[in-house]
Amino acid sequence: MTSAPLTPCINEALPEEVLRVIFEEHAKVEWNAPVIDGQVCRQWQQTILRSPRAWAHLDIAKFPKSSPSKLHQWLDRSGSVPLHVKVIRCNQGVEEVLDRHHKRIKAIEMAGYPTNVALLENRSFPILQSLDLTGQGPGCEISMRCHAWRAMPELHSLRAHFLSVDPLPSNAFPPSRDLVLHAVEDFDCIIRNSYRSLTSLMLVFISLQYTSETLEFPSLRFLSLYEANNVKHRMNVPALTTYHESGGVKEELFPMPLPSLIEYGFHGHLLNAPPHVTSLHEDYPNISRLSVRTRPDDAKRFCRLLCDQPTALPMLSIFAVGDKPGFNDYTREDERSMRNDVFERNTANSVKMELCFDGNRVPLYFGDVSVYINES
């Protein structure tokens, strides 16, 4: 014991500045992390109390309804740093939070109950960058009365689920960069507001029927279409590099080939085979990452076509295959058959293709652009 080297305590090994960063990162994962970490020791507690960013994440619904004073104490500890707020139910204290602190809210995640959505009205949010609104589900869409919204000049990420949208006032918020629309009604004003600025777009259970004009997206790099009808064949997306689609969308074609596309993902439905290799080569000749989520028989057929046409998709280096709920799992025989096909293709190609069965190398993203942005 006496001859063994002494291992310093973590409090001695790490300066307070590093501990602060650790506490701040923990708070991004668990909003109540400062309470958890502050119970470890007195030094950690004092450090956390001197770390305003550790108190910048707030789930209002988790606060006891009878303790608004604790809510204000929490916010006072956050000082003047930008806030990330989650509101599920409009409990006691929510109005006071927005009245006192709305000008430093950077991100809001809000359930689309009428009382919640009303909190966005008649208030300006000068630094708000991310707005996530979710309605109560199919058939219970909540109307976003955007005509009552005030300025949100920094907003660039908007996610709306199971909502209907009123016409946008001209000064409500600037064109978005990242947009998710999931079962949203009357959304054409949002699309029109952001045509030219969007870099990431996800449409889920959406049908564009309000116009036949070409939709111009000059800056769009990531696109995800899941059961989105009457959209794809009208989109001009010259800068697109990543595209994911579901089986019902693949029957539509983009107006022109996309040599800029390097990643393509397909999520198949029952009785919907994946796209044909030849058509993919014609439309997206420079794909290097390909993901297929469909039945094992369809995936094996597609893999065999890749082998039979080694000159098709010559840049393809990753082919990811994954299960789809409701289908049979891939058996060892399925994997062996596909690996043999890939080996045969690689012997005839200068670019070697890797076969992945977990799908993690090319994950499919439908409906959560924030996850895609964080992982990309």
Residue 369's nearest CA partner among 37, 130, 77 is: 130
Asked if residue 345 lies in contact with residue 132, where contact means CB atoms within 8 angstroms, the answer is no
Residue 22: exposure state from Cβ atoms within 10 A (0-12, 13-18, ≥19): middle
Encode 58-77: b = buried (16+ Cβ within 10 Å), e = exposed: bebeebeeeebeebeebbeb
Q: 216: which strand partners?
A: 236
Q: How far apart are CA 111 and CA 87, in angstroms?
A: 6
Q: What is the mean pLDDT of residues 348-356?
A: 91
> Residues near 303 by Cβ (< 8 Å), separated by ≥ 6?
319, 321, 337, 338, 341, 342, 355
Q: How far apart are CA 54 and CA 272, in angstroms?
A: 48
**Is the per-residue pLDDT at 270 higher than 60?**
no
What pTM did the predictor assign?
0.84
Side chain identity, residue 292: V
121-154 pLDDT per residue, tens: 778 889 999 988 887 655 555 666 666 677 788 8
Q: Tell me the two tokens of residue 178.
A: 């990242």
Q: Tell me the two tokens of residue 93.
A: 């204290």
**What residue ranges do the domains of the chain occupy?**
14-54, 56-194
Q: Tell me the two tokens of residue 174.
A: 């600037």
Question: For the ranges 1-10, 313-322, 351-360, which has the lowest average pLDDT?
Answer: 1-10
Count of Cβ atoms closer than 10 Å to residue 168 Cβ? 16
Question: For the ranges 33-42, 50-59, 158-167, which has the lowest average pLDDT?
Answer: 158-167
Q: Tell me the two tokens of residue 325.
A: 């709920």
Q: What is the pLDDT at residue 252? A: 85
Report CA dihedral (155, 161, 166, 169) to the nearest 10 degrees.
0
Q: How far apart are CA 369 and CA 204, in angstroms?
A: 12
43-80 pLDDT per residue, tens: 899 999 999 999 999 887 776 665 677 788 888 999 99
**Is the per-residue pLDDT at 1 higher than 50?**
no
**Is the per-residue pLDDT at 102 higher than 60?**
yes
Q: What is the DSSP string of 41-66?
A: -HHHHHHHHT-GGGG-EEEGGGS-TT
At residue 216, φ and ψ (nearest 5 deg) are: -95, 125
> Residues near 2 by Cβ (< 8 Å), separated by ≥ 6?
none
Mean pLDDT of the chain, nearest integer: 83
Q: What is the pLDDT at residue 100? A: 83
Q: What is the mean pLDDT of residues 251-255?
A: 86
Q: How far apart are CA 33 and CA 48, in angstroms?
A: 10
Q: What is the DSSP string of 332-370?
A: HHHHHHHHHHHHHHHHT-SSPPEEESS-TTS----S-HH
Q: How far apart are CA 180 and CA 149, in angstroms?
A: 19
Q: What is the DSSP string of 275-329?
A: PPHHHHHHH-TT--EEEEES-HHHHHHHHHHHHH-TTSSTT--EEEEE--TTSPP
